[in-house]
Structure 1
Amino acid sequence: MGCYYDSDSHQDVLEQVAHPIITKIIDYTLIVSGFIIFFVMIAGAGANLHQQFDFPNWLGALVCALLVIIVSFMDFDKITSVLGIFTPIIIVMIVAITAYTYIGHSYDWNNIYRVAGELPAPMPKVIFSAINYYSLCAVTGVSMAFVLGGSVVRIGVAEKGGAIGGALIGVIVLCAYGALLANVESISNAEIPMLAIVASINPVFAHIYTFTIFALIFNTAFSLSYALAKRLSGNDNKKLHIILITVVVAGYLCSFAGFKKLVSLMYPVLGYIGILLLGVLLVAWIREKQNIMKEKMLRRKMIAVEKKKYDEDQEYTLKDKKLFKKLAEESVLDASDIKQEVKDVVKEEQDNN
């Protein structure tokens, strides 16, 4: 949806797919929830370093907050490329942790289920917890997903990226759940349970895992703060940085409430909000499915026509120029905008070849 509407923030999509009242409710909710999850992440950065290295919580949180501010002044495309490096690393680590947990080990599952059942739960049923957590993930990532989608011209690329990302999240959550369940007796009181498991496996591995988790927490914190600042500032870069710094400072102050307490209190509430958001997006996707497919084919044709300019074996004719203009006028986007974006994409691809 972000790619289809060429969005700069979640508001650009919501204004197109939902009733104005619903749009305002979700918009304000995403702004508030984005800020809440942001300062929970800042608190998590402090808890992460405190649990492994016994650093003061405020110090780890401060380092993460300062990194968010510093990185926000760098090139956006380069930032997203660097941040993406840590995703495959954590996938490999979590799969390795899960494999180590089960290979060559046996467990008293009756006792494990008994201990797990005694832990305080925000939801009365497992299925409700699963739906709530899935919705929470949607709230966490949707604003930045719309921004990233809006930076892509090819709808097919956005679709594949979303599908692969969703599948990877499913694998990570499943593996993490398996490892946490098997070790529930020893980690039930830890602020970051997975880190407690890793520390019991190997101290060196625990150090590596700690820094990887810190990088992912920073990744999430940066994405949330950037998307929030982008929404509030529009296209004014100077205003964006001022708002982002304000958000980071406020989030850092709020993080002193404590990571574990914040998670148990705020995450279930945000999950309910996510259910409303997912419902709106699902209805919008069903309604716009045919139009999205039409726009997808249209952009493919525009890219194919533009590529003729760089192909020595093909001639770019007046007919091609007229076709390119006609396709741009049929696009859901502003004709001049889509023409420029297609030209930029094709030129960048040719320069990289």
Structure 2
Amino acid sequence: MNRYAIQLAFAYMGVIIGGGFASGQEILQFFTGYGLAGIAGTVVAGVLFAFLGRQIARMSTQLQVESHKEVLRILFGAKAGAVMDILLTFFLYGVGVAMLAGTGSLFQQQFGLAPIAGGAFMAALVILTLCLNVKRIIDLVSAATPILMGMVVIITVYSLFTVNASTDELLALSLRQETVAPHWSIAAMLYASFNIAVGFPMLAVISGRSTDIRSTSLGGVLGGIGLGILILLINIALLYNLNQLQGAELPTLALATRLSPVVGILMTLSITCMVYSTAVGMFFAFSARFTRPETRRFRGFSILSCGIALILGQAGFTKLVGTVYPLLGYLGLLLIAAVGINWYRIRNRQAQVLAR
């Protein structure tokens, strides 16, 4: 299979997965809280990821973009695109803050360290990475994804063999979980929309650096399918062990630690890698919006933005996931609608050409 398409798929997944996804906190709030209906929600989200990934990658390659703002201008027009650019840039930074907070929670739960220690560790890694060239950043972001995929499969299989409550009890418990929307279908749409808003800038930049539309389109589809499968597996693992996960900031880590302390450490490393992938993607896109990558000004801006984010991240990971992400989701709905309309217009135009 096309090597570049696979690398792009892993990079797409790596930026989106992040701390909330890999830790299970996002899945818990957006899917598990709806019981069995949440499983249908994971399917809806996976289909949307595949469709949107293909369209964004294809468009970015065709336009040979250097920044996500060029794609927004095409989708929304000059004025509305500028507004979307400002809003998206603001929320991307919020997700970056959440990633530093997520590392703080991870290190606190696993090692008993103060949250600021984990956040500072991740901020330092992000800053060092942003001093590299763009190709190296893409390689690092995509490399972490297969590790997490293997860990999720192991944890899901283990969780299904260690269920110690009836299905009725687990479903009743799931309905008492805090959720982000009144209906599972809305939650699934919000989940796909805020995540595509998170992944969109990095996906656009990566795809814009290639001239092979077929490879980038395939990469977008494969990345979307991979995301859908991971969401489904994590959701099943959480749902069938919900009675043992009450109050856990990082549910998948709690499951892994129950399996074995060694597996818990491996999962800690996996989550750290995925938080790192998303954090790099967010701060890269944010800094690239204001400065040119691979310049001294870009590095200085990255250091400043990460330092401020470290301070803001002390608000707490769960709180940030429950507030920043749903708001970004509603912004992402506009992006989904614009991509869908653009796709329809292109298909309609092609049909008219063929009819002549």
Task: Give the TM interval when normalised to the shorter protein.
Answer: 0.7 to 0.9
Whole-Å separation in 2 of the counterparts to 1:42 and 1:107: 35
Query: Residue 17 of structure 1 aligns with which residue?
Result: 75
- 1:337 corresponding residue in structure 2: none
Q: How many residues of Structure 1 are paired with residues of Structure 2 in the alignment?
A: 293
Amino acid at match of 2:280: F
Q: Does 1:224 align with 2:224?
A: no
Counterparts in 2 of 1:29 and 1:82: CA distance versus 1, 3 Å: same
1:167 is aligned with what amino acid? I
Deviation at 1:17, TM superposition (A): 2.5
Residues 1:269 and 2:327 are matched in the alignment = yes
Aligned match of 1:74: 132
Write the distance in 1 (CA, Å) between the matches of 2:334 and 2:74: 16
Q: CA contact under 8 A between 1:112 and 1:185: conserved in structure 2?
A: yes
Match of 1:158 in 2: 216
Determine the C-alpha separation between the residues in 1 that align with 2:146 and 2:269: 14
CA contact (8 A) 1:9 1:146 kept: yes
Alpha-carbon deviation of 1:245?
A: 1.6
Deviations 1:51-80 (A, max 9, x none): 111111100000000111111111321232
In structure 1, what is the Cα distance between the partners aligned to 2:279 and 2:164?
Answer: 38
Q: CA deviation at 1:82?
A: 2.7
* CA distance in 2: counterparts of 1:129 and 1:261, whole angstroms: 17
TM superposition shift of 1:8: 1.2
SS at match of 2:60: coil
**Distance in 2 separating the partners of 1:290 and 1:213:** 43
The structure showing larger relative contact order (alpha-carbon pairs under 8 Å, at least 6 residues apart) is 2
1:331 is aligned to none
Please say which structure displays the higher CA radius of gyration. Answer: 1
Partner Cα separation in structure 2 for residue 170 and residue 146 of structure 1: 20
CA contact (8 A) 1:73 1:241 kept: yes
Q: 1:94 aligns with which of 104, 127, 152?
A: 152
* Range with greater deviation from structure 2 (121-130 or 200-209): 121-130
- Percent identity between matched residues is 26
* SS of aligned partner of 1:2: helix
Structure 1 residue 24: deviation in Å? 1.8
Which runs of at least 4 in structure 1 moved beyond 6 Å after TM superposition? none
Quote the Cα distance in structure 2 between the aligned partners of 1:193 and 1:115: 15
Residue matched to 1:6? 64
1:132 correspondence with 2:190:
yes
Where 2:188 maps in the other structure, the secondary structure is helix
- Which residue of 1 is the match for residue 115 of structure 2? 57
The 2-side partners of 1:114 and 1:141 are apart by 34
Question: Which residue of structure 1 aligns with residue 237 of structure 2?
Answer: 179
Q: CA deviation at 1:106?
A: 6.1
After superposition, the C-alpha distances for 1:304-330 in whole angstroms (9 at most, x for unaligned) are xxxxxxxxxxxxxxxxxxxxxxxxxxx
Are the counterparts in 2 of residues 187 and 193 from structure 1 also a CA contact under 8 Å?
Answer: yes
User: 2:272 corresponds to which letter in structure 1?
Assistant: F
CA shift digits 1:176-201 (9 cap, x unpaired): 00001111111131111111111111
Instruction: Provide closer, same or farther for how the CA distance between residues 39 and 168 of structure 1 changes in structure 2, counting only shifts above 3 A.
Output: same
Q: Give the root-mean-square deviation of aligned CA atoms.
A: 1.9
Deviates more, 1:96-105 or 1:53-62: 96-105
SS at match of 2:62: coil
User: Residue 317 of structure 2: which of 253, 259, 264 is its match?
Assistant: 259
Determine the C-alpha separation between the residues in 2 that align with 1:229 and 1:276. 23
| Whole-Å separation in 1 of the counterparts to 2:320 and 2:255 | 22
Name 1:148's counterpart in structure 2: 206
Q: In terms of mean alpha carbon deviation, does 189-198 or 78-87 score higher? A: 78-87
Match of 2:50 in 1: none
Q: Do the aligned partners of residues 61 and 236 (structure 1) sit closer, same or farther apart at CA in structure 2, a change above 3 Å counting?
A: closer
Change (3 A) 1:123 1:78: same
Flag structure 2 segments of 5+ consecutive residues without an equivalent. 1-58, 351-356
Give 1:287-326 correspondences, 5 Å limit: 287-288=345-346
Alignment check: 8 A CA contact 1:30 1:143 kept: no
Cross-structure match for 1:308: none
Instruction: Find the counterpart in structure 2 of residue 193 from structure 1.
Output: 251
CA separation in 1, counterparts of 2:132 and 2:79? 36
How far has the Cα of 1:16 moved from its partner? Answer: 2.0
The 1:171/1:141 distance shift into structure 2, 3 A limit, reads same
CA distance, structure 1, for counterparts of residue 206 and residue 134 of structure 2:
10
Separation in 1, partners of 2:304, 2:153: 38
Offset of 1:160 from its aligned partner?
0.8
Relative to structure 1, is the Cα distance of residues 235 and 43 closer, same or farther in structure 2, using a 3 angstrom cutoff? closer
Q: Distance in 1 between matches of 2:60 and 2:219?
A: 12
- The alpha carbon displacement at 1:121 in A equals 1.7
Give structure 1 stretches of 5+ with no counterpart: 293-353
In the superposition, relative to structure 1, how do residues 218 and 289 fare at CA in structure 2: closer, same or farther (>3 Å)? farther
Q: Distance in 2 between matches of 1:284 and 1:188?
A: 43
Given that 1:8 and 1:230 are in contact with CA atoms closer than 8 Å, whether structure 2 keeps it comes out as no
Contact 1:7 / 1:146 at 8 angstroms: preserved in 2? yes
| Preserved contact between residue 135 and residue 273 of structure 1 (Cα < 8 Å) | yes
Tell me by how many angstroms 1:101 deviates.
1.5
